[in-house]
Amino acid sequence: METNHQSSRSWPNYALIILFAIFLLIPSLEMIFHFDTTASRGENRLLAPLPVPPQSLCGLAKYLSGWEAYYNDHFGCRRALILWHGKLMLHLFEDDSHEVLVGRDGWLYFSSGRMIDHYRGDSQFSEAELQGWQKLLEQRRDWLARRHIKFIFVLTPNKESIYPEHLPDWLKNPGRPTKADQFFAYMRTHSSVSVLDLRPTLLAAKGSGPLYMQTDTHWNQLGAFLGCDQLVRLLADERVAGLKPLSLNAFNQTNPLAPGGDLTRMLGVDMLESNAVYLTPKPELPELNLFETTNETVGLWSFSKLPGGTGSAIVYHDSFGRFWIPFLGYQLKEVDYFRQYFLNPKIIAEKQPAIVICEVLERFLNTADPAGLSAQDALP
């Protein structure tokens, strides 16, 4: 009787042990049978590859650490665990990651690089840092001017600069100037370099439709078009030949629901994007030929060609500037886009463009070292 009683009390323990063992085995079983159908979230990095077998004992430690890195990136059910961890942290604990700030009304913001300090104006440029930006841009302007090339510097705004109303209630700017405010005030007073602040244009256009995506770092095509239009208008005002602003009516505009953007991938959650505005050219626009390639010397290189167009430009840009590719090409015969912040004197000498445009995102302005960029330019 005692034995039966002990057995009835111990079976839950055995069941718990068996259940625990199954959970431990599931990742290994998934690596064999591949039953996890969760879609990949996108890592914004390359996952660790299979390690190459060592050629000697000296390489054994590196080989073993390579296997550890590979397993950490590829163990079974990893995609499902990341997805459910993100959902748990976001919806149950209302937590976010160190790179993503969860705002109101389903809005997400990229919060890396001391975004909060910069938005609040807690972090300020020193006089020496402002002088560094002035020196860098004037060096570029003067070097290009000697080659009869127009130079313009364009700042694309962070999402929180255009849509602060969707930030969490606790995050406010108490009225202090931001680094972007400092930069433009300083350049207007101390320099004649052409600098374009897109914040006023985009703030004024918010009523015309969504300009930035809720679940992504970037603006959408409508925001990009309006920014590009302001750039063209400034260049036309400065008498760059052949430039004529396009009408928004030259494009068909759609606003479909789309999969969530890069910030949802960082969080590891599923969300829909409602601000993904797309602009497609109407038949009356001339055919614009778009190309993209990767070059060993210059990296990612995109360019557009417009048969019958005149003039050319080079655009140095980040991920925001790539949104200009379907629009700026209607103004010129050829536009070359290089995803980098420094100038390439050899390419400029070969292409002999009429215009060089440097597009920089606000958060990069906040953190970049202009002296380092000047060294990368290596202007002769």
- Measured in degrees and rounded to the nearest 5, phi and psi for residue 229 equal -60, -40
> What percentage of the chain reaches a pLDDT higher than 90?
63
Buried b / exposed e across 15-37, counting CB within 10 Å, b at 16+? eeeeeeeeeeeebeebeeeeeee
Buried b / exposed e across 284-310, counting CB within 10 Å, b at 16+? eeeebeeeeeeeeeeeebbbbbbeebe
* Segment 91-144, tens digit of pLDDT: 444 444 568 998 999 999 999 889 999 999 999 999 999 999 999 999 999 999
**H helical segments located in the chain:** 2-33, 60-74, 78-87, 115-120, 127-145, 159-162, 179-190, 199-204, 221-237, 262-267, 325-328, 345-351, 362-367, 370-377
* Segment 339-365, tens digit of pLDDT: 999 999 999 999 999 999 999 999 999
The span from the CA of 289 to the CA of 111, in Å, is: 36
- The letter for the amino acid at 303 is F
Position 88 pLDDT exceeds 50: no
User: Quick one: average pLDDT of 328-349?
Assistant: 94
* pLDDT range class, residue 41, cuts 50, 70, 90: very low
pLDDT averaged over every residue in the chain: 85
- How many CB atoms are closer than 10 A to CB 133? 24
- Would you give the DSSP letter of residue 218? S
Task: Give pLDDT, residue 7.
Answer: 55
Q: Which one, of 196, 205, 305, 291, lies nearest residue 248 by Cα?
A: 205
Position 10 pLDDT exceeds 90: no
Torsion, CA 286, CA 289, CA 318, CA 365, rounded to 10: -40
- Measured in degrees and rounded to the nearest 5, phi and psi for residue 210 equal -65, 135
* pLDDT range class, residue 180, cuts 50, 70, 90: very high
The span from the CA of 183 to the CA of 195, in Å, is: 10
Please report, for the chain, how many H helices and E strands are present, in that order: 14, 13
Q: What is the end-to-end Cα distance of the chain in Å, rounded?
A: 96
Q: Give the angle 166-169-174 at the CA atoms, nearest 5°.
A: 100
Task: Give pLDDT, residue 122.
Answer: 94
The span from the CA of 138 to the CA of 141, in Å, is: 5
Which residues, 6 or more positions from 205, have their beta carbon under 8 angstroms from its beta carbon? 211, 226
* Segment 62-86, tens digit of pLDDT: 767 766 766 665 665 555 555 444 4
- Measured in degrees and rounded to the nearest 5, phi and psi for residue 163 equal -125, 60
- The letter for the amino acid at 306 is L
* Segment 191-239, tens digit of pLDDT: 999 999 999 999 999 999 999 999 999 999 999 999 999 999 999 888 7
The span from the CA of 369 to the CA of 371, in Å, is: 5
Q: What is the pTM of this model?
A: 0.76
119, 178 Cβ separation under 8 angstroms: yes
What 188-192 contacts at long range (C-beta under 8 Å, 24+ apart), as own/partner pairs, is 190/130, 190/134, 191/134, 191/137, 191/138
